[in-house]
Structure 1
């Protein structure tokens, strides 16, 4: 018995590929969700840690015999300082904003002088073997002197507290800038120097187009260390020179037994110091195109 073959459709099945159009609203929602997820990943861990520390601090300092007030008492006792940072009174009776601003002005002036002098001296030491042999031992000795040890000498020289504090900032910040700049100059690849010779760049062109860009990550590392040391030094220096400034505010609060005021001021000092470091880090990433570490 003959079996008839099953007819086979030689035409392939038509497969229709549908392109799903994604609406702009869906894209926006997805981007917002990704941003919120990234924000939560960066913000939630420090917030949880901070909440844990606040609870721990509240528990251990709630005893009537505790010498340090708990967070709840710090807030209640410093509420007027918190809500009135721009208060202007007589003499040193100022809001915390003005104390911090006065300290920042001193830091800015001394730090800028240190940056200019430090980069110049670091470039000289990095380029010249004679300068390295002559200046490096002196720098290594002077940089070990504690910042506040310079204050009596600066007071004797300037006869005034404000320039003395600026000098302390300058002498504190300049050493890491010099050292890191010199290291950066000495680590410039030989290929860069060969390119400069081929292009016949003069000294100024070599300095601006080869040397500074190549050493920029090292320079900004020194600048970041310098700004942190500057902020540390000004708080200590202002405790001794007096006048308007966050350091004097802390010392005055101690003399008046206002421990809560000291704690609030320390919180502000930490926040401002962090912001200064982040500002220099952002500038470094912008100038060096992300070659400097953040």
Structure 2
């Protein structure tokens, strides 16, 4: 019996060993998956492409629509004709041959000067008034109805009042900028003061801080983001108003330049002026956005 078992065990080891070797070989052999070769794209290049491609696509779409409109309308200038006129115009933007014949550079500077004066006066009046309205409840109730009544009035509706009071076109245009710029500053500053956490004011009361300390150490840092938002809204409105005001008052300015070119039926120059107005407004907006980001702090949660 034992002899038979030994004989059987001696006859079967080769297949068992072979199958074990096959299993171990199959387990040891790595499975190779073929991958399609794709060009590697740098994350930096991909991010740059996503930033550049959409604006360029939008500009190309705008030029295409412009070209279609110019092709359908016989008296509308094509993008190429406008570009050629722009090259001529910006080759000497600061020429001056008379009081009513000046380059586009002088007209833009004149408009910016009016905006700076009117906007500066609005900031000098509107920001302190916003602090007072937000701080004193009696003043909030006093000026609230006045602001609600006058804020929806179109800025150009104030232009005849300016002409009547100041007897001159330039101060009247500055007055229009002032009256349209002051409301966003007052409202946003007052709202910022009213949203200061009450805990801050309680601590100031416990420490017996003076009103000046409360203003400089508590209110101003807390209200600054709201105040800068009002300033950003005001500068956009002021730049819109000055163009319309200069069309009505005349003189030197980008608005008057647009109206003068319309009287001369120089449509390419009108389109160039529209682009210049948009670019200048965009630059002013982005400068104030950068200023607001520099002074805005986010709360970090633990």
Provide closer, same or farther for how the CA distance between residues 34 and 289 of structure 1 changes in structure 2, counting only shifts above 3 A.
farther
> Out of 266, 274, 277, which is 2:274 matched to?
266
> Out of 43, 52, 73, which is 2:61 matched to?
52
Q: How does 1:1-294 map to 2 (within 5 A)?
A: 37-63=46-72, 65-289=73-297
Q: What displacement does 1:216 show? A: 1.2
Q: What displacement does 1:278 show? A: 0.7
Which 4+ stretches in 1 moved above 3 angstroms? 33-40
CA distance in structure 2 between the partners assigned to 1:37 and 1:94 by the alignment: 46
Q: Deviations over 1:84-137 (max 9, x none)?
A: 222222112111111111100110111011112111111111111111111110
Residues 213 and 288, structure 1, Cα contact 8 Å, conserved in 2: no
CA RMSD of aligned residues (A): 1.7
Residues 174 and 226, structure 1, Cα contact 8 Å, conserved in 2: yes
Q: Deviations over 1:11-51 (max 9, x none)?
A: xxxxxxxxxxxxxxxxxxxxxx7665544332221111101
- The SS at the match of 2:95 is coil
Provide closer, same or farther for how the CA distance between residues 141 and 198 of structure 1 changes in structure 2, counting only shifts above 3 A.
same
Residues 86 and 94, structure 1, Cα contact 8 Å, conserved in 2: yes
CA distance in structure 2 between the partners assigned to 1:37 and 1:198 by the alignment: 56
- The SS at the match of 1:192 is helix
Q: Deviations over 1:126-154 (max 9, x none)?
A: 11111111111011111111111111110
Provide closer, same or farther for how the CA distance between residues 34 and 199 of structure 1 changes in structure 2, counting only shifts above 3 A.
farther
- The SS at the match of 1:85 is coil
TM-score, with length taken from structure 1: 0.83
TM-score, with length taken from structure 2: 0.81
Provide closer, same or farther for how the CA distance between residues 290 and 112 of structure 1 changes in structure 2, counting only shifts above 3 A.
farther
Q: What displacement does 1:208 show? A: 0.9
CA distance in structure 2 between the partners assigned to 1:199 and 1:242 by the alignment: 57
Q: What displacement does 1:288 show? A: 2.7
Residues 225 and 295, structure 2, Cα contact 8 Å, conserved in 1: no
- The SS at the match of 1:238 is helix
Q: Which of structures 1 and 2 has the bigger CA Rg?
A: 2
CA distance in structure 2 between the partners assigned to 1:73 and 1:54 by the alignment: 12
Provide closer, same or farther for how the CA distance between residues 92 and 36 of structure 1 changes in structure 2, counting only shifts above 3 A.
farther
Q: What displacement does 1:290 show? A: 6.2
Number of residue pairs matched by the alignment = 258
Unaligned runs of 5+ in 1: 1-32
Q: Deviations over 1:204-238 (max 9, x none)?
A: 11101110111111111111110000000000000
